Amino acid sequence: MPNTLILLVGSNPLPNYLAACALRPARLFLAYTPGTASAKDRLEAALRPVLGTDVFQTDAGLLIDDATCATTVRRAIDLVFRKTDNPGEILLNYTGGTKVMAAHARMVFEKSGGRPEHASYLDEGDAKQPPRLRPDDGPPMAIDVGSNVPLDLRTILALHGINHTPRQPWAPAPTLEDAKEILCKVLGDVPLAAALYCERERLEDKEYSNPGKAVAAQFRADRFGLRLSLELFPTDGHLKGLPSSDARKSWFKQWYKFIGGEWLEVWLGTLIGNLRLTPKPDVTVGVDAFRGARRAQLEVDIAVLRGHRSYLISCTTDTTKTLCKSKLFEVAVRSRHLGGDLARAALVCLADDRTVSLLQADIDDLWGASNTTKVFGVSDLHNWSDCDGQRPNLDSLTNWLES
């Protein structure tokens, strides 16, 4: 049984992670370049809890100084074959790295006695086909994410050098019923969303950012025709039930951000989590992500993980093309940072059909890829909800989540 695996590390280490978890080698060699050294380190850190520390030996890193030099690539891969008496025990997965690395690694593999059924490439699959390893000879090997391939949002983010802090709700927290109440009222009167956002800005202003001062200028749900679980906030009673000044500020912040637009994230995240899809969506609402020592912010409103693929959603209650376009391009770029080229991205906004069409045309024209960021507008929200008394039509949402 083959027990030595060579991986070509690229800028996106997720395919390497999937291949290594599926193949479970006893020895693992990572071929990398100076430009992918950090990706190699992140991949190794993610794989150690899965494969064990013994799989990484002191000489398991194969540094390729020049990824465009065929001789350098061949020399590095040849080292692995010189360390074994049985070339037939070596596996090569050539999904990652540069084209030169893939081509010449495969060439050395064949010339050194590697067997074609032991060389493979990751096929990421689609709505009808799960991800699988496709050997150069023989049947494909399905990758069962969740059983022999452990994967969650934290692992995907860590593979790309991203950390994140989950939201911490403070009781009494906004409810799903609150989110749906606002949604239905906004769908009947779209300008209400802008009025609620103005309330958020008023409460967030330095004059009232201390919740003790805001008691004198509370948010009143009835002013906006809303029936929420908190009809007004903050009150002295709310604040006295919290243990510290920081807790009071965090509690107050969650509420004014909720009325200002996070209600859409809460409602949509719950909707997606309840969809009957296979694999089942794993939904995180509010990903406060950051990268590096300077903690560069990479926030995203909703992250959905289905198997090996992440779907990242930006939500805004704005209706204007200018602001929606800014959010659209932001999430398009951010999705690559957070999930690599296997990620999908979408913008959910309150724009009308014409604006949505213009936004979609802009991103399609610029991106020019099969996984172009999707734009959903107010008509989609009407279709997805039962606010108008109809049965929800979730086809556009499920189609995107299966792309």
* pLDDT tens, position by position, 231-256: 999 999 999 989 999 999 999 999 99
6-24 pLDDT per residue, tens = 999 999 999 999 999 999 9
Which ranges constitute the DSSP H helices of 241-346? 245-257, 263-273, 321-339
- The residue among 95, 118, 150 that closes a domain is 150
> 131 and 79 in one domain?
yes
Tokens describing residue 308: 């090996």
Read off the CATH number of the domain in which 23 is found. Answer: 3.40.50.10770
Residue 136 phi, psi (nearest 5): -65, -20
Strands 162-166 and 141-142: unpaired
Which residues are registered as beta bridge partners of 163? 290
Residue span of the structural domain in which 251 resides: 152-403
- pTM: predicted TM-score of the whole model, two decimal places: 0.91
Could you tell me the CATH number of the domain that includes residue 261? 3.40.1350.10
pLDDT digits (tens, 9 = 90+) for 212-232: 999 999 999 999 999 999 999
Q: How confident is the model at residue 195 (pLDDT cuts 50, 70, 90)?
A: very high
Helices assigned H by DSSP within 24-169: 37-51, 70-82, 99-111, 153-159
Counted domains in the chain: 2
Question: Quick one: 237 and 132 in the same domain?
Answer: no
- Give the span between the Cα atoms of 50 and 87, in whole angstroms: 25
| Alpha-carbon distance values, 211 to 181, 196, 251 (Å) | 24, 18, 9
From 122, 150, 178, the end of a domain falls on 150
pLDDT value of residue 85: 84
Let me know: does 398 contact 275? Beta carbons within 8 Å: yes
pLDDT band, very low/low/confident/very high, at 369 (cuts 50, 70, 90): low
* Nearest-angstrom CA–CA distance, 311 and 317: 20
Are 156 and 138 part of one and the same domain?
A: no
Distance CA 285, CA 167 (A): 8
If asked whether residues 130 and 253 sit together in one domain, one would say no
pLDDT at 129: 80
**Are the C-beta atoms of 43 and 155 separated by less than 8 Å?**
no
In this structure, are 12 and 157 located in the same domain? no
Domain-ending residue, one of 150, 185, 205: 150
Checking 328-333 for CB contacts under 8 A at 24+ apart, the result is: 328/359, 328/362, 328/363, 328/373, 328/375, 329/363, 329/366, 331/300, 331/373, 332/363, 332/367, 332/373
Nearest to 345 by CA among 397, 310, 305: 310
Residue 359 dihedral angles phi and psi, to the nearest 5°: -65, -45
Percent of the chain exceeding pLDDT 90 equals 78
- State the pairing for strand pair 296-297/282-291: antiparallel
